Amino acid sequence: MSCIDLHSHSTVSDGSLAPADLIRHAAQQGVKVLALTDHDDVAGLNAARTAARPVEISLIAGAEISVTWRDRTLHIVGLKIDPHYPALQQGLRAIRDGRVDRAAKIAEALANSGIDGSLEGAYGFVRENIISRTHFACFLVSRGYAGNMKNVFKKFLVKGRPGYVPHRWAELADVVRWIKDSGGRAVLAHPGRYGLGGATLRQLLEEFRALGGDALEVVSGSHTPEMTQRFAGLAAEYGFLASCGSDYHGPDRGYGEIGRIPPLPSGCAPVWHDWPEASALAVSAA
Ligand code: AMP
Ligand code: MN
Ligand code: MN
Ligand code: MN
């Protein structure tokens, strides 16, 4: 269990709880410091901040930003960003516009394999702004094309499957710059999820560090214990801070519970080492 959870999603992106409900749920689960990190959008942060005050959660302003690096998709979490910073806002808007175009292509690809109406169907699951593969997944499951979220991705929405279309997200250098220039810390999200071989992974870590990247998400809801140990070692080796987050998407989305993540392995330098809201936590826990 951890009372610091720095990766979560609301209905602003592909989570199933509205920001205020997510905050109340986090409080019930004992979370004290929570980052809301919706994909490519910061529109939930105001409502989250308002909801956080009465339940005594320290809300960290965040976003999980989609990047294309060497033809692969990576996710960079920005923590303590300034959501009003113009370059960040413009960059996120451009990514969201790209999502709209991609959604039309996904629907076309699915139509080519005999599944009609998926664009309207997917938008039917969008609660606020972002259209994502998760919304296509919800549509496909609702129509019985697959039994659950995991299988629907495997069958339709990943590379080599009928509903997959390649897409170019933002550049790594730009994303790190938006985050840093807005006053935030840049974290490589769930590094174990990308299936990178050792050499490529090291090239990524060097490039990320050279660009000003701050931290690796050592503890993630999608990491095995082996991955956690491996990335703790790599964070120490490369001088990265370490972050932790459940990647919670809501009760029905096939992810782990909010706040239910192991502690950072010893030897990690926490990304929150100089955050007042986290040090207050250490004092009150003592
Ligand atoms: P997108 O950014 O539109 O490509 O959508 C990516 C989102 O789909 C991720 O943030 C996850 O929430 C979800 N996702 C990706 N792969 C899977 C999977 N295998 N099972 C469940 N959800 C997934
Ligand atoms: Mn997601
Ligand atoms: Mn992610
Ligand atoms: Mn995420």
> Which pLDDT band holds residue 282 (cuts at 50, 70, 90)?
low
Ligand 1 pocket list (CB less than 6 A): 14, 39, 66, 132-134, 149-150, 153, 249, 254
Residue 285 pLDDT > 60: no
pLDDT at position 284 is 44
Pocket test of ligand 1: the residue of 92, 100, 134, 169 to mutate, having most ligand atoms within 8 Å of its CB, is: 134
pTM over 0.95: yes
Q: Contact, 232 vs 264, CB < 8 A?
A: yes
Domain limits, CATH 1.10.150.650, in the chain: 93-157
Pocket test of ligand 1: the residue of 7, 14, 96 to mutate, having most ligand atoms within 8 Å of its CB, is: 14
Mean pLDDT of the chain: 96
Q: What is the mean pLDDT of residues 262-282?
A: 92
215-220/170-171 β-pairing: unpaired
Residue 182 token pair:
């807005």
Neighbours of ion ligand 3 (CB under 5 A): 75, 189
Could you read off the pLDDT of 178-206 as tens digits, one per residue?
999 999 999 999 999 999 999 999 999 99
Residue 18 pLDDT > 90: yes
Among the CATH numbers 3.60.10.10, 3.20.20.140, 3.80.10.10, 3.30.980.10, which is that of 4-92+169-278?
3.20.20.140
Q: What are 216's strand-pairing partners?
A: 188, 242
pLDDT at position 104 is 98
Separation of CA 64 and ligand 3 centre (Å): 7
Give the percent of the chain with pLDDT over 70: 98
Q: What are phi and psi of 266, to 5 degrees?
A: -65, 150
pLDDT at position 1 is 52
Separation of CA 4 and ligand 1 centre (Å): 23
Nearest CA to ligand 1 atom 14: 134
Nearest to 217 by CA among 242, 192, 248: 242
- 129 compared with 177, residue with greater pLDDT: 177
Residue 14 token pair:
């592909």
CATH architecture of 93-157: Orthogonal Bundle (1.10)
Separation of CA 280 and ligand 2 centre (Å): 30
72-79/58-69 β-pairing: antiparallel
Ligand nearest 246 Cα, by number? 4
pLDDT at position 221 is 96
Q: Contact, 4 vs 272, CB < 8 A?
A: yes
Domain limits, CATH 3.20.20.140, in the chain: 4-92+169-278
pLDDT at position 280 is 74
> Which pLDDT band holds residue 279 (cuts at 50, 70, 90)?
confident
Residue 209 pLDDT > 80: yes
Residue 66 pLDDT > 50: yes
User: Which amino acid is residue 20, in one-letter code?
Assistant: A
Could you read off the pLDDT of 241-251 as tens digits, one per residue?
999 999 999 99
CA distance 47 to 57: 13
